[in-house]
Amino acid sequence: MHNIESWLENNTFHHSQWWNILALIEEKKRKNLKISLCIPTFNEEATIGKEVIIFRSELMERYPLLDEIAVIDSGSTDKTCEIARSFGADVYFSGDILPEEGHHKGKGENLWKSVYQLKGDIICYVDADIRNIHARFCYGLIAPLLYRDEIKYVKAFYDRPLAYSHGKRRSGGGRVTEILIRPLFSLFFPELTALIQPLSGEYAVRREVLESIPFPTGYGVETSHLLDVYNKWGLEALAQTDLDQRIHRNQPNHALGKMAFGILQTFLNRMKAYGLTPLPEITPFLRQFEAQEDHYHQILHEIQEEERPPMNELSAYQNRA
């Protein structure tokens, strides 16, 4: 796959290439761009404060790369919103944005609502559960968009050690990627296997891309984005930046099963939308098992990956623009 080799050479970066943040700011000014940071949250009181402090102090006050930092929350029941607001982030409940469109609980919903709420020509998304947060999680993703006009969507990749009480194991993490996404991409979209962390929650995107693609409301949003950007603009529109390492909360297997099920729904829906293959009816029900003493109990989860339309199809967004 010569195209993959060429892409890896030209569209894969390391955050250290962009150490000169003042140069990034000059390029931002030259192109007259606004840049927003969006942190989607749900009960992240343990880590949200440090993230807002780091990004605000380093990338707004010390180096004015960001024009706004916004937390879009799904309805946290802990102190996530209070903490984020106290450290200077703009905080929004996603249900209050475009209320006439209703509200779905899920990460993809928060990201979709952010396209309406935020002002940036570039929006950078960073997950709220990162324990080793650093300004590179933002500027390392934004920089390729400032210097390369043909790049539209920049994904993060990193080593993902699993944290234990007696230290860290350098291998592990990314289980859904390796078990589900990489096999699917290998079969149907082999060029996309060049993306090292296709499900990473950190990426920077041009507004014109975000407003023109649909958003699944749940875990399928990252997969849907990659497929749609690739389908519309090709591999050259994508890039990735090595951020070295990401330490985060590890999910149990049952939670990963739900995530994988939602992602698979999204993948099959995209296949159907592209007219690539006849598909059977896609069920929203996932069956898992739970052991209760010497008995096994089947649990039925209804996981429905609703999909939000491209933002530029909404009359409210058109009128606002």
pLDDT value, residue 299: 78
Please tell me the distance from the alpha carbon of residue 278 to that of residue 144, in angstroms, as a whole number: 38
pLDDT value, residue 3: 82
pLDDT value, residue 288: 64
Number of other residues whose CB lies within 10 A of the CB of residue 257? 17
Domain 2-320 belongs to what topology?
Spore Coat Polysaccharide Biosynthesis Protein SpsA; Chain A (3.90.550)
* DSSP E strands, 130-277: 153-159, 162-164, 167-169, 203-206, 215-216, 238-245
Which pLDDT tens digits describe the chain residue by residue (321 residues)?
458 888 988 999 999 999 999 999 999 999 999 999 999 999 999 999 999 999 999 999 999 999 999 999 999 999 999 999 999 999 999 999 999 999 998 999 999 999 999 999 999 999 999 999 999 999 999 999 999 999 999 999 988 544 433 444 343 347 898 889 988 988 889 999 889 899 999 999 999 999 999 999 999 999 999 999 999 999 999 999 999 888 867 778 888 999 999 999 999 999 999 998 787 777 788 766 565 665 556 677 888 888 999 999 999 999 987
pLDDT value, residue 292: 67
Q: Is 265 helix (H, G, I), strand (E, B) or coil?
A: helix
How many Cα atoms occupy the beta-carbon half-sphere of 16 within 13 Å?
A: 1
pLDDT value, residue 164: 38
**Phi/psi of residue 256, nearest 5 degrees:** -65, -30
pLDDT value, residue 279: 76
Domain boundaries, the chain: 2-320
Tell me which residue of 258, 183, 186, 174 sits closest to 219, measured CA to CA: 258
Q: Are 227 and 270 in contact (CB under 8 A)?
A: yes
pLDDT value, residue 277: 76
Tell me which residue of 59, 54, 74, 73 sits closest to 120, measured CA to CA: 59
pLDDT value, residue 166: 44
Q: List Cβ neighbours of 145 (8 Å cut-off, separation of 6 or more).
A: 122, 151, 152, 154, 204, 206
* pTM summary value: 0.88
Q: Are 245 and 132 in contact (CB under 8 A)?
A: yes
Six token digits for residue 145: 């968009």
